[in-house]
Amino acid sequence: MLHPKLRSIFEFINQSIQDKKGTSKRGRPYVYNWCSMLLFFISAMKRGKYSFKGMEQYAKAHYAKYGFEKAPSRFTLSRRFAQLPYLLQWLMPQVAQRAISLDERFDFGIGFIDKSLFRAKGGIWHKKHMLINLIPHSSIDTEASWGKSAYFGWRFGYALHLICNASRFPVAALVTTGSAKDIHQVFPLTSLIKASLKLLLGDKGYKAVRPIKKLLNAHKIMLINGIIYKMKSHFKNWLSCINNSEFAQRLYRKRKTSVEPVFSLIKELFDLKNETQLPYKGLKKNQSFLMLITFSVQIMMIFNSIFYQNLGHTHQFFNLLD
């Protein structure tokens, strides 16, 4: 049986899923409710149960705790784990939207965007070897790629792209390989939150003018990056005036105290600090893993709001899952 306090967050997630039009699945219905499955996966990741065999053994001992009538097999767990990126990329904005009515601190009319790089599992694939498609060691994750971090410099791995609000509440996320351009992720990230998001703050990785113009025209979202553009055009001059305004500069300074602490919290909770490698090889599994642990922070904050705790308090929510 789910803990009574966890039941509240279960119902919150379940209602967000039910709100989706056409959620009914073709064919045989799911034996295992998605809400229970999400809570189970979060608990398994927190405990370091990364293999599906390990998850299966854990489920056999604790399946009733998550509301399962019987323990799911490793094949069921593998199949559902593979579906997580598609589910969570849609679900996180839905949960965020519903959370606004719960607590005004979850409002995301103004959002902050950034990415964080995570080191790939196994060896490093140097660029000189990548160019000639030479794989010097079997441990190398050939789906990973190189990206540059402000703190660690060049890193071989995967990138978590995130939008959060000023309260450090995650709103939307997606995962790519390390080399994916920051600016190209803005449009898919904002597509499901454009009704509420009006202003977006990013760093110099979001300087390309054409995507900014597309975002403004299609989603009515203004992206501020603090850059004064040198080349002359009416749109660039307009962007420069906005970026140089006192209002924009004041908001821009809040970026580091909003989105970057979320990445730090994720890495702290799931033991991914410094040069720690990801637990999986391949883009799909790492998408599932990184999206899931980001979602866990989102629902942890909602849980804390429901029970009148500091939004960043981690112990009670994760202790109840253990």
pLDDT one-digit tens code per residue, 136-190: 999 999 999 999 987 778 999 999 999 999 999 999 999 999 999 999 999 999 9
Domain shared by 111 and 259, yes or no: yes
Residues 91 and 135 in one domain: no
Q: Quick check: is 270 in a domain?
A: no
For the chain, the domain total comes to 2
**Residue tagged 């998408």 (tokens):** 287
Establish if 275 belongs to a structural domain: no
Residue 269 lies in a domain: no
The percentage of residues in the chain with a pLDDT greater than 70, rounded to a whole number, is 96
Cα–Cα distance measured from residue 321 to residue 141, given in angstroms and rounded to the nearest whole number = 31
- The CATH number given to whatever domain includes residue 191 is 3.30.420
* Together in a domain, 113 and 224: yes
Mean pLDDT, rounded, for 3-24? 80
For the ranges 2-6, 83-87, 282-286, 294-298, the lowest mean pLDDT is seen at 2-6
| Burial classification of residue 4, based on how many CB atoms lie within 10 Å of its CB (0-12 exposed, 13-18 middle, 19 or more buried) | exposed
On the 0-12 / 13-18 / 19+ scale of CB atoms within 10 A, 302 is buried
The mean per-residue pLDDT over the stretch 64-71 comes to 91
Strand partners, 115: 161
Task: Identify the CA nearest to 288 among candidates 78, 56, 139.
Answer: 78
Residue 173 CA to residue 185 CA, distance in Å, equals 9
Whether the Cβ atoms of residue 42 and residue 292 lie closer than 8 Å to each other: yes
Q: Is 80 exceeded by the pLDDT of residue 20?
A: no
Q: How far apart are the first and last CA of the chain?
A: 13
- The verdict on 47 and 140 lying in the same domain is no
Determine, yes or no, domain membership for 271.
no
Q: Where are the beta strands (DSSP E) in the chain?
A: 110-119, 145-149, 153-164, 170-177, 199-201, 222-224
Asked if 43 contacts 292 with a C-beta cutoff of 8 angstroms, the reply is no
Residue 260, Cα to own-chain centre: how many angstroms? 13
User: What is the distance between the alpha carbons of residues 205 and 223, in angstroms, rounded to a whole number?
Assistant: 12
Does residue 23 surpass a pLDDT of 50? no
Structure tokens at 9: 């967050």
- Same domain for 259 and 114, yes or no, is yes
Whole-structure pTM value: 0.94
Total number of residues shown for the chain: 322
CB contact at 8 A, 163 and 182? no
Q: Are strands 110-119 and 222-224 parallel, antiparallel or unpaired?
A: unpaired
Q: What is the DSSP letter of 277?
A: B
DSSP structure class, residue 180: S
Domain range for 289 is: 4-18+32-101+283-321
- Mean pLDDT, the chain, whole residue set: 92
* 193 and 235 part of one domain: yes
- The reply to whether 27 falls in a domain is no
Q: Are 202 and 184 in contact (CB under 8 A)?
A: no
